[in-house]
Structure 1
Amino acid sequence: MIVVLSAITVCLVILNGWQYLSRRKLNLSLHEISDKLTDILEKESSEKVFLQTDQKHIQFFLIQINRLLDYNQKVIADYARTKDSLRKMLSNMSHDLKTPLTVVLGYTEKLKMDQSLVGKERHEVVSNLHQKTLSVIALMNKFFDLAKIESDDYAIPLSKISINEICRKNVLGFYEWLQAKNLQVEIEIPEQPYYILGNEEALNRILNNLISNSIRYGSDGGVFGLTLREDGKNIAIDIWDKGKGISEVHQARVFDRLYTLDDARNPQFQGSGLGLSITKRLTEAMKGSIHLSSKPYEKTVFTCVLKRITY
């Protein structure tokens, strides 16, 4: 009996000792993790917490901590990008508004100061003033449209729509401009009707933006094209040209708010940097996607992919 009790006592002592050592090891690990986290937060570094341990619960705890640190870095990076985007947006917006408003002010002062303006000359000044005022209003409307589209409570009603005729109508809407630019027009719209889950008003705006951009920036290639085609279970619209295209350094950012290429500041082009951003948001609101592929003077293609309906 004494032997049994002694054995039990020894086992209990060993168990208590093992538990003490385990708790001590756990506490040391937690202290080390805590110190490393404090150091990372104070230095705002992108380091991770690494610790050699055979304790499964500590290993899992470290995995979750590092996932949280990754997420924290992503939030910080997103915030920095958003802050930089807002700064550039305000700078560009200021530039885009200041120029036409200065012209408007000039025309207004001319009408006010020069009372001798009559007839054709006065009509020309008033007409220019009216056009510049409309351009400012259009720019502001685009800005507020984008803000509305990006808001959480914005929703586009989706339904089954036939896309073939919508594509034809949008190209025909630019007939005179295409003729004026003397562009060769290559349209591929199948006779077979295609149906998508979308919104006709949004689709018209998307096509209007893409077609006008293609004519404005790609007319030096001498050709404009629109292709409607199947893309697996989806429908794709390719709007393309063979102009100077978009260099690789710009391609990833053309859909950013108020991001413009250098020549978009040229009065000949009048780019605001809002059209493609609105186009991307509207496409995504219809559960679709938009992509750019560009090889200068070979082919520049904006491809809009939308969900196909077959029933």
Structure 2
Amino acid sequence: MLTSIRQRAIGSYVLLFGIFILLTLFHRWGLVNLLTVLLGSFWATVFLAWLTARRLITPVEQITSAAQEMAGGVLDTEIRVQGEHELDELAWSINYMARQLRKNLFLITEERNRARAILNSMADGVIALDKNGRVILINPVVESIFDIKEECWIGTELIKVIRNHELEQLFIRALQDMQPVLNNELQVLTPEPRLFRVQISPLKGAQHKKMGVVGLLTDVTERRKLEQMRTEFAANVSHELRTPLTSINGFVETLLDGAMEQPHVAKNFLEIIHTEGKRLANLIDDLLKLSRLEDRRTILHKQPVDLADIIHNTIKMFEGLAQDKNIELTEVIPSDLPPVPGDFGFLSQVIVNLVDNAIKYTLTGGKVNVEVTFNQQSITVTVSDTGIGISEESLPRVFERFYRVDKARSREMGGTGLGLSISKHIVEAHGGKIKATSSQEGSTFYFTLPLD
């Protein structure tokens, strides 16, 4: 094509030269004068220049302009020229290239969107670094965990984004060796301490060219907590069961060794055995109840429940114990309190557990108050006391199984350490939430139940 265009340009120059020679000969033969020769040459040059511009230069300029627009990303431009046949073919080829580029760009965009959707839907964090160790990709999970935005991490060194030296060293090691780094667990401040399992894999291009690394961060904090709780649960169950059994066995052996011959001593020992047996039975009952609640095997028999009625009965139940400790036991219940959908027996147990705990841990002369508030969406029951309070480090754990703020005092009062855990599962089974707050003036436990 270029050869043909070159030939046409040379042909124009030859034609122009031929016209000039012909006019010169006419002048020499006396057929035309010099002015005619000059004018003829001029107009021939103008005509050929116009013809060249129209058929060659203008189409080339149009093609060049359109090609520059395409290079800038405007692929919707269509080149339409009227010129030489070869230029028409060039324009068609560029238009075809633009259509193919649009098609490929669409496919690439679709692929990128799919990859982005997959990254956004992942529960694990993803961090990718280029071969120079700079961040090129972080998915929303990592942005949420470490509270960072894209403009803060793109093209930045990892240590400036996630300030953890151990994590940075794992990525650097993978980048240098271009070998996977698997199943490393480390603690990272996010800003709270979290435990992550880190797996890093190299990114390799054509001919194993080093392109960077990508790391997967799996949050295993809750899993490790559950494993620790499971271990502690087994140890606590063994301890809680062994304590009354050891006491029972000791007193039985003492009776068999001759204490039965002393009626007063034997009666005292039998009363202790009876108390420990009841404690053991209560512990087993609570364990079975908690197990069924956690496995969601307990079926709630929901019906409209009058919480005021439950609270009145609970207050009457503990009036004697409160009077013995000179504790003021009060209730504040709105007269227009609506019924709440729930299981009467389970909700009664929650209120009984909370009031029982409040009285146990309130010193003589203190106060325990049960108050109910409500709005259009929910009902809130609050049990507050002026007791010994709960330390700040113990407050987040009060609803754990077997967790006691004051272990000696709790055992002395016959507590199993499961009451609050059972209450939490009952409230959550009703779709509600239970929380606790504490200060030097005492503790407050409250739970909220939905009205629909």
Query: Matched residues, percent identical?
Result: 23
C-alpha distance after superposition, 1:151-173 (max 9, x if no partner): 03433121111111111001101
Q: Is the 8 A contact 1:236 1:303 kept in 2?
A: yes
Answer with 173-182 or 112-121: which moved more.
112-121
Answer with 38-47 or 10-19: which moved more.
10-19
> Do structure 1's residue 264 and structure 2's residue 407 form an aligned pair?
yes
Instruction: Report matched runs for 1:128-139 at 5 Å.
Output: 128-139=272-283
1:121 and 1:144 map into 2 onto residues whose CA distance is 35
> Do structure 1's residue 154 and structure 2's residue 298 form an aligned pair?
yes
1:221 is displaced (CA, Å) by 5.9
Equivalent residue for 1:111, pick from 220, 238, 255:
255
1:8 is displaced (CA, Å) by 4.0
1:127 and 1:299 map into 2 onto residues whose CA distance is 35
- In the alignment of these two chains, the number of paired residues is 282
1:184 is displaced (CA, Å) by 1.6
- Corresponding residue for residue 56 of structure 1: none
Q: Is the 8 A contact 1:236 1:306 kept in 2?
A: yes
C-alpha distance after superposition, 1:175-210 (max 9, x if no partner): 111111111222223333431111110011101111
Q: Secondary structure at the match of 1:243?
A: coil
1:245 is displaced (CA, Å) by 0.8
Equivalent residue for 1:174, pick from 313, 318, 334:
318
Q: Is the 8 A contact 1:146 1:278 kept in 2?
A: yes
Q: Secondary structure at the match of 2:240?
A: helix
> Do structure 1's residue 2 and structure 2's residue 146 form an aligned pair?
no
- Corresponding residue for residue 377 of structure 2: 233
1:116 is displaced (CA, Å) by 4.7
Structure possessing the higher relative contact order (Cα contacts under 8 Å, 6 or more residues apart) = 1
* Structure 1 unmatched runs, 5+: 50-64
1:123 is displaced (CA, Å) by 2.1
1:231 and 1:39 map into 2 onto residues whose CA distance is 56
1:89 and 1:217 map into 2 onto residues whose CA distance is 24
2:301 and 2:359 map into 1 onto residues whose CA distance is 30
Q: Secondary structure at the match of 1:218?
A: coil
- Corresponding residue for residue 447 of structure 2: 304
From the superposition, tell whether residues 31 and 197 of structure 1 become closer, same or farther in structure 2 (CA, over 3 Å): same
- Corresponding residue for residue 432 of structure 2: 288
Q: Secondary structure at the match of 2:393?
A: helix
Instruction: Report matched runs for 1:9-20 at 5 Å.
Output: 9=93
2:235 and 2:311 map into 1 onto residues whose CA distance is 36
1:232 is displaced (CA, Å) by 5.2
C-alpha distance after superposition, 1:81-132 (max 9, x if no partner): 1001111112222222221111011011112221652433222222211111
> Do structure 1's residue 183 and structure 2's residue 267 form an aligned pair?
no
Q: Is the 8 A contact 1:260 1:272 kept in 2?
A: no
- Corresponding residue for residue 121 of structure 1: 265
Equivalent residue for 1:243, pick from 377, 387, 395:
387
* Structure 2 unmatched runs, 5+: 1-84, 116-127, 131-136, 138-173, 187-195, 201-213
> Do structure 1's residue 144 and structure 2's residue 288 form an aligned pair?
yes
Q: Secondary structure at the match of 1:173?
A: helix
Q: Is the 8 A contact 1:260 1:271 kept in 2?
A: no
Q: Is the 8 A contact 1:291 1:303 kept in 2?
A: yes
1:17 is displaced (CA, Å) by 9.2
- Corresponding residue for residue 309 of structure 2: 165
2:403 and 2:416 map into 1 onto residues whose CA distance is 8
From the superposition, tell whether residues 220 and 42 of structure 1 become closer, same or farther in structure 2 (CA, over 3 Å): same
> Do structure 1's residue 213 and structure 2's residue 213 form an aligned pair?
no
1:278 is displaced (CA, Å) by 0.3
2:263 and 2:417 map into 1 onto residues whose CA distance is 38
Give the alignment's TM-score, normalised by structure 2: 0.55
Q: Is the 8 A contact 1:221 1:243 kept in 2?
A: no
Equivalent residue for 1:79, pick from 223, 231, 243:
223
Q: Is the 8 A contact 1:149 1:282 kept in 2?
A: yes
1:222 and 1:216 map into 2 onto residues whose CA distance is 11
- Corresponding residue for residue 235 of structure 2: 91
1:292 and 1:114 map into 2 onto residues whose CA distance is 50
From the superposition, tell whether residues 92 and 276 of structure 1 become closer, same or farther in structure 2 (CA, over 3 Å): same
1:112 and 1:138 map into 2 onto residues whose CA distance is 26
1:204 and 1:171 map into 2 onto residues whose CA distance is 11
What letter corresponds to residue 294 of structure 1 in structure 2?
S
1:235 and 1:246 map into 2 onto residues whose CA distance is 25
Q: Secondary structure at the match of 2:369?
A: strand
C-alpha distance after superposition, 1:245-279 (max 9, x if no partner): 11222111111122221x22334334432110100
Q: Is the 8 A contact 2:325 2:365 kept in 1?
A: no
2:129 and 2:446 map into 1 onto residues whose CA distance is 54
2:416 and 2:277 map into 1 onto residues whose CA distance is 15
Q: Secondary structure at the match of 1:174?
A: helix
Q: Secondary structure at the match of 2:416?
A: coil
- Corresponding residue for residue 203 of structure 1: 347
1:15 is displaced (CA, Å) by 7.9
From the superposition, tell whether residues 287 and 116 of structure 1 become closer, same or farther in structure 2 (CA, over 3 Å): closer
